[in-house]
Structures are given as C-alpha cells and as structure tokens.
Amino acid sequence: MISITFPDGAVRNYEKGITPLAIAESLSRSLAEKVLAAEINGKVCDATQPIRSDASLRLLTWNDKEGQMTFWHSTAHLMAEAIEKKFPGAKFWVGPPIENPKGFYYDVDLGDRKISEEDLAELENIMKELSKQKNPYIRKEMSKKEAVAYYTEKGDEYKLDLLQHLNDGEITFYTQGNFTDLCRGPHIPHTGLIKAIKLTNIAGAYWKGDEKNKQLTRIYGVSFPSQKELDEHLQMLEEAKKRDHRKLGKELGIYTMDEDVGPGLIMWLPNGSVIIEELEKLAKETEQKAGYKRVVTPHLAKESMYLTSGHLPYYADSMFPPMEIDGEKYYLKAMNCPHHHKIFASSPRSYRDLPLRLAEYGTVYRYEQSGELFGLMRVRCMHMNDAHIYCTREQFNEEFRAVNEMYLKYFKIFGIEKYVMRLSLHAPEKLGIKYVNEPELWIETENMVRQVLKESGIPYVEVPDEAAFYGPKIDVQIFSVIGREFTLATNQVDFSQGRRFGLHYTTADNTTDTPIIIHRAPLGTHERFIGFLLEHYAGKFPLWLSPVQVKILPISDKFLPYAKEIHEKLLLVGIRSETDERNEKIGKKIRDAELAKVPYMIITGEKEISENKISVRKRGKGDLGSQSVEEFIKILLKEIEERTAD
C-alpha cells in the first residue's frame, strides 16, 4: 500500500501502482470523466501513469491551467493524426499548446502540397471522427538508438533533429489511433474527451524560428470539452475584435493612413491630435516637476554621427536609406539619443551640472519590414516620449528609481494594471556581436537595475538576451486585444554610448569621467501608447483625454441659440464642446453621441431655457438631472484637472 496526500491535506491509502485516473474513479465517477492529467509530487504527468510510492497528488481538470494545456497538446496530436490521414507522408516538427491566443498549433512540412482554408473544415471533420473512437493516448519509452532508427527509416529529418538533443531515458513516444509521435507528454486519457474543435488559421513559420530556414506550415486551432465552451470562446473573440484599436481608431476618427503617403505612416486626425496634445501636456508637466529640460532636435543627421553611435552599420537595416546632399549622406533619425548626446557635448559639463535630464517628444523613423506593420502598434514614423539622463555612477540608483516611479505614477493615472515588467539582460555568448564587449560592466549595471527593482518592490521577470546593445533595460510588456505582446515603455541603462561620443564631465577632484546614460520612454510612442489606450478604454476615454468632452443636443432647432450660448461658455473655459445642429430627434442625437463615446451630453429645450439650467447626461450612465451651467463647468474642470479615471 502507498499513501496519497491530496491538496486539501487528506491522506488515503491505495494499492501500489494505482493510476491517478483510478483514484479519481474511487472518489467519484463524474470526477473521473473530467480528469485530464495529474500532478504527482509537483510534476504534471499522465492520469494513466502508475504511482509506485507515497506521493502528493493533484487531479487536473479543465479548471486547471495545466489541464487545459494538456488538453490542447493532445488536440494537437489529434490534428496531426488527421493531417497524416489527409496528407500522407507529412512531416511534423512540434505541436505545443499555447496560452495566448488560447489553443495549440502544429508545424508541418507538407512537401509540395498546399493547404487551404477549405481543408481546415475537412481536417476538423476527420478529427471529430477520430475523437469519437475514444482512442487512448499510450505512452511508450524508447532508447535513443531505436528512436533514431525509427525516424531514419521514415526519413523524418525534423524528429531526428529533436532527437539529437535527447538522451536515453528521456525519450518517450505517444500513440493514439494510427498516429505515433515523439513527445515528452503528458496527454489526456483518450481522444473522446475532445468534444469541440475549431481550426482557426494557417500560417507560415520558419523552422526553429530562424528566417534563413525553410518555412513550415503552421496550423492553429483551439478545442474544448464541450460545444458550449467553444461557442463562448468564439463569442469572446468577436467581442475582443470590437475593441481592436484599428477598428475604434477608424470609428472614432483618431487616425488614418493612405497608400500615397505610405505604409506605416500615420496621419493623426483632429480627434487623435487632441489625445496627443493631452499626453504631451501630461508628460511636460511631469517632466518639468522632475527636473527635466526640454530640447528640440532635427529629424536628420549625417552618416558620421551614426557611425560614432554604432547604429551604423549594425542598425542600418532598420533605418531608411540615406539621401545624399553635397556629397554627404544624411539619415532620417531612428532614435533621438545621438542628438541628445551632441547637446550634452555642446558645452563643458561639471559634476555640478549632473544629473542632466534632456527631454523631447522626438520624431523617429524606422524601416520596419512591411509584414511587421500593425495598425498604430507598429509603424514607420513615431513620436517618442524620449529623454536621456546623464548622471554619475553615484547618482544612478536614485535617478533610475525616480524614472521607475514616474512609470508607476503614469500607470496609475491610466489605470494600467495588466502588464509585465521585464528586466532584459544580455547574453554572455553574444558579447561583441549583439552586445558591447564589456563583461564586467554588464554584470555591474544589471545588478544596479535589479537592485532598484527589488527595492521598489515591483514584480518583474528576468529575460536574458533581450537587452539593448549598450546596456540592460526594463521593458513594460502589454498585450493587444488580439493577444499580441508589445513593449509599451522602456527604461534603459547605457554605459557605452557616453564613451563612444567622448562625453565627459569634470569631477569634484578635477579629473574627468564619463556619465552613465539612462534612456527612458515611460509613455512609449504616441502611436503605440494611443493604440494601447484605445483598446484599454474600449474607446471610452476619460474626460481629460476625450477629443470631444461635451456634446450639446438641442431638442429642436428652436433652441439652437441657447445651445450656442452654452457652447461659447464651455469653450471660454477650455472645455472641448460641440453642438449637434442636425435636424434630428433628440433620441437620435443621444444615440449618436453615445456611439461617439462623448463623456457628457447637454440637452437643452423649453424647460432648460425657462429655468436657465441645462440637463446633463453622462455616457453609459444616462440622465443626471438638471443643473446650472456654472455648476456643471466647475465639476468638469475639476475632473479634467485631476485627470479622473472616469
């Protein structure tokens, strides 16, 4: 007998070699039907794996993340079985479950054959048939020699490549129905549990993620234990699409693009420009209080400066090609740093001048590959909330911490809670290639940044090989509604550029030293930040950011003069007001103002004129009753001044 400890602390005794599935059955029949996998002593494995000694056990169902991942992984195998049936001889790479978007994919080499959208429906049907067979997922261990022989016979170079990195004792195969795959598992008990399947799309994916390699066909899908859950999931995706910043950006008149202007080049419409102005106002206020100095720099610079900075030739692929004037090459700037460094260098600096904080909403141009462009999130011309802080080594911690606090202050204003702080580190093996070759400086600055993060108590993750070439950084990662991950803001350390530009200051003991530079962009770029805000607020901007803050809706055109009077009063105190002068009924005007997501509506008619008041309606909340214009203005100005969340 062995004793099994359950998550609630209960201990029960079972026969040696019992499976988690059998234990579930001993507890309840309905539970056994839901078990997808099991966690034995903290390790996720098959629910059909025998337990041979005392252990702690957690039965995993659809309600557990691990249960879902196992479920999707098993569905990927089921899809592979269907693909093999429809495309005999197809070779498989890997087929993992994924969290964002939910589901799974499998990378396949179909040879010369092509797969189309119509084939997906057919594959789905094959999968449903196979699911009905309730085929068990059977685990089998194999020696490396056997496994290599198996795939050599099959002529499968992909699985042979996978095998290279595995050793005897860690090679397992799983078989369900007629499909066998090299796989570490775990898997669900049988295919019958997969009741609802949707294959979502076909994409190309480079083998091993390297664009020099052959491109495999990647098929994405998602599955659920019931049709109802699949329907709900698809419904949710539809809802998410409604708050896609590209859709909202068009509907709300935020921005536009034009083929004649060029891909990735945003034109901000009046409504979008208001948001830009408000964001810049916030940044300027905040930075002014934090001791920043504003500068303005040109959009171009000569080749020589980018050779100095090191951006050329290494960054050349991301820059627009140069233009030649008077025998000199000029580049559109892809970053503001070199210009700011030149400003630092423009006059002798003393330690008394530090920290020097130079800020600019700088326009930069990057030649992003055409396929990478994405609405406002990825563009070729962007406006960056940039600043460079030149400080001594002693000042670094405090400066870096202050920048982090600025981030948190901003995030509070915008109610940004779903983000990941990522400490991006270098990779030692890429020193001198991707990163400046200063091993001890890397370690030192990374420790400095880590210390600041630890002291501030901000949760973060460390990720190697994500640093800038000149130093470690903190990235703020967010997700778009369709699940794509982006860096919203960045805070970078730079111990290299200062030296390259020959920047120095006189120290207290009359020697010279090179400043450490902090590159920071807490509001990222206007493009990405507003794209993010559109989705974050679902287009319902708080009052202070709303392009139109108040819409005045006269009951009929008899009351237009009174509406105009109120409109003038609002404009006078700086409230962005518009009047709906159309010959429409009040219901229609309200509907349109609500759809335009205007925060406040003022309704004026006979009653209001006689009482010398206005009727106020709030977006999403309805009628607030009547009040005087002066009272209303006072409330709004306070809400705007305090940048209230909504």
Partner RNA sequence: GCCGUUGUAGCUCAGUGGUAGAGCACUUCCUUGGUAAGGAAGAGGUCGUGAGUUCAAUUCUCAUCAACGGCUCCA
Of 456 and 627, the one with the shorter C-beta distance to RNA is 627
Backbone angles phi, psi at 437, to 5 degrees: -85, 75
Kindly state the smallest distance separating residue 524's Cβ from RNA, in Å: 3
Q: Please give the DSSP secondary-structure letter assigned to residue 384.
A: E
Of 131 and 445, the one with the shorter C-beta distance to RNA is 445
Of 156 and 608, the one with the shorter C-beta distance to RNA is 608
Residue 382 corresponds to which tokens in the numbers above? 């962007």
Of 214 and 409, the one with the shorter C-beta distance to RNA is 214
Kindly state the smallest distance separating residue 206's Cβ from RNA, in Å: 4
Written as one letter, the residue type at 610 is: S
Kindly state the smallest distance separating residue 486's Cβ from RNA, in Å: 6
Residue 371 corresponds to which tokens in the numbers above? 């396929």
Of 268 and 505, the one with the shorter C-beta distance to RNA is 268
Kindly state the smallest distance separating residue 474's Cβ from RNA, in Å: 10
Of 150 and 367, the one with the shorter C-beta distance to RNA is 367
Of 330 and 367, the one with the shorter C-beta distance to RNA is 367
Kindly state the smallest distance separating residue 103's Cβ from RNA, in Å: 11
Q: How many CA atoms lie within 13 A of 126 on its CB side?
A: 19
SS3 298: coil
Kindly tell me the burial class for residue 237, based on how many C-beta atoms sit within 10 Å of its own C-beta (0-12, 13-18, 19 or more): middle
Query: Are the CB atoms for 58 and 43 separated by under 8 Å?
Result: no
Of 369 and 512, the one with the shorter C-beta distance to RNA is 369
Nearest 5°: the CA angle 200, 205, 209 is 135
Residue 429 to residue 533: CA distance in whole angstroms: 38
Query: Are the CB atoms for 473 and 432 separated by under 8 Å?
Result: no
Kindly state the smallest distance separating residue 158's Cβ from RNA, in Å: 15
Kindly state the smallest distance separating residue 462's Cβ from RNA, in Å: 16
Kindly state the smallest distance separating residue 63's Cβ from RNA, in Å: 26
Residue 531 corresponds to which tokens in the numbers above? 């794209």
Percent helix, strand and coil across the chain, each to the nearest 5: 40, 25, 35
Residue 606 to residue 276: CA distance in whole angstroms: 38
Kindly tell me the burial class for residue 339, based on how many C-beta atoms sit within 10 Å of its own C-beta (0-12, 13-18, 19 or more): buried
Q: How many residues are given for the chain? A: 646
Distance of CA 333 to CAs 252, 436, 517, 530, Å? 31, 21, 19, 22
Query: Are the CB atoms for 575 and 543 separated by under 8 Å?
Result: no
Kindly state the smallest distance separating residue 42's Cβ from RNA, in Å: 30
Of 351 and 537, the one with the shorter C-beta distance to RNA is 537
